[in-house]
Amino acid sequence: NAGVTQTPKFRILKIGQSMTLQCTQDMNHNYMYWYRQDPGMGLKLIYYSVGAGITDKGEVPNGYNVSRSTTEDFPLRLELAAPSQTSVYFCASSQGLASKTWETQYFGPGTRLLVL
Amino acid sequence: TQLLEQSPQFLSIQEGENLTVYCNSSSVFSSLQWYRQEPGEGPVLLVTVVTGGEVKKLKRLTFQFGDARKDSSLHITAAQPGDTGLYLCAGVGTSGTYKYIFGTGTRLKVLA
């Protein structure tokens, strides 16, 4: 069982370039999330999705876009990379049961992005 | 905006010592989680506390949720080098289950 997988592991971008960070989960989870983690800091929510076709903004959505066409995949798009987007990006998923008030989030290994 | 402040930010202790990490907010959370993150990996859930005043124990780790559900603490007894990592608290707001607010993190190093 792979859990949550992310690609690539590491990427260097030039200012103004675009890229897509891939995230796939094989646990049939409804909820998926994208976070960024700056050096030595906690995680900030970028976007989240409660199911295929449904996405919403988190705390820091500017400069990013997402889509959720399938339950398994939740790609994160950077259109015009900026140095401020240098960070480690984590994708996570959780079951998404309406009857529960909390759930375990399962995180991928992260994508380290450097924008120069 | 809900914020979670953790203290201390950094902690370096000798093997066998005890320590406490704090997670504080001015907001009420419906539940609070603690994660541990090792270098190069994603966070892994340690525990979730949901009731004000609740205490949970996980081997040498003791977690407590404040009576008012605004704060939490993590106490480690007889720390070991394997406890080294970044400890993150995360609060679930009262508006729903899908927006988690993460704390600023406490980086712990346990020296052998």
Burial of residue B56, with CB atoms counted within 10 A of its CB: 0-12 exposed, 13-18 middle, 19 or more buried = middle
> Which phi and psi (to 5°) does residue A16 adopt?
95, -15
Q: Give the pLDDT of chain A (116 residues) as one tens digit per residue.
A: 679 999 999 999 999 999 999 999 999 999 999 999 998 788 999 999 999 999 999 989 999 999 999 999 999 999 899 999 999 999 999 988 766 777 889 999 999 999 99
Query: How far apart are the C-alpha atoms of A40 and A34, rounded to whole Å?
Result: 18
State the nearest Cα–Cα gap between A38 and chain B, in angstroms. 10
- A47 at B interface, C-beta within 8 A: no
DSSP string, B6-18: EE-SEEEEETT--
What tokens appear for B42 in the block? 């994603």
Query: Tokens 């008012």 correspond to what residue?
Result: B68
- B40 at A interface, C-beta within 8 A: yes
Contact A110 B42 (CB under 8 A): yes
Query: Is the backbone of residue B69 left (phi > 0), alpha (psi -120 to 50) or beta?
Result: left
Positive/negative CA dihedral, A40, B44, B112, B21: positive
Summarised one tens digit per residue, pLDDT across range B27-56 is 888 889 999 999 889 999 999 998 999 999
- Pairing relation of β-strands B106-111 and B10-14? parallel
